[in-house]
Amino acid sequence: MVRAVRIATRVLFILCLPALLLTASIGGAANSPWLYNYGFEKYNVSQETGLAQSELEKAAAGLIGYFNSGEETISLTVVKDGEPLVLFNEREVAHLRDVKGLFRLDYRVLLGTLVYVLGYAVFSLFRRRDWRRLAWGVVGGSGLTLGLMLVLGIGMLLNFEQLFWQFHLISFANELWQLDPARDYLIRLFPGGFWYDAAIFCALATAAGAVVLGGVSGGYLIHRRARPVDERDD
């Protein structure tokens, strides 16, 4: 029974690592002014919308603040041609409320997996003979993460538009996400190319985290194997 519990907790630890790293990357991207401004500059959003760069930065800050606030809806006013402009219409506001719900889900998964991973790691570190098992668990979780990011990356390279479409069909129970660039500023601020770049950013950040964790744990295992048998920690 004890052995079964150990195996189950270790497997859950390995499965939690990819979820932890991915949700952390998504949360980081959602709160990164740099990523927003990178997209604005790359896709000439100022020219496309007629909004000054300072107003675009204001819009980005407003979105980040909204996603982290307790407000149900967003009301964001910018200046265009010297006149105040309410940036998002009712359809966009409703869609952003749905998007905020996804970010809240991301934060909950991030918190849950972080608590479990840290708890498992701390418990393992209290007992020296569990260090090797912990290291192998980190290596396994990191390897799983890299494998998933490789598959995701290949899918994005082959047909990102189809993946993006399927994501929306699965994530939203309505069609509010189908916006019109002729009248909706949200899609003009964040065109399809921006989302491709953001997805690549999240995949690379997740993979980088896995490489670091896996590298540290793998280095420990290699170092341990090189030590004399009587000096090992099991």
Quick one: which of 19, 1, 16 has its CA closest to 137? 16
pLDDT at residue 131 greater than cutoff 50: yes
- Residue 221 in any domain: the answer is yes
pLDDT in tens, 165-212: 999 999 999 999 999 988 999 999 999 999 999 999 999 999 999 999
- Residue 15 in any domain: the answer is yes
- Residue 25 in any domain: the answer is yes
- Residue 18 in any domain: the answer is yes
Residue 229's pLDDT is what?
A: 47
This model's pTM is above 0.75: yes
pLDDT in tens, 62-104: 999 999 999 999 999 999 999 999 999 999 999 999 999 999 9
CA distance 138 to 121: 9
Domain that holds residue 7: 2-44+107-226
Block residue for tokens 């930065």: 57
Residues 6+ apart with CB under 8 A from 114: 20, 24
Q: Count Cβ neighbours within 10 Å for each residue of 145-176 and write b for 16 or more, e otherwise.
A: bbebbeebeeebeeebeeeeeeeeeeebeeeb
pLDDT band for position 233 (50/70/90)? low
- Residue 63 in any domain: the answer is no
Number of structural domains the chain divides into: 1
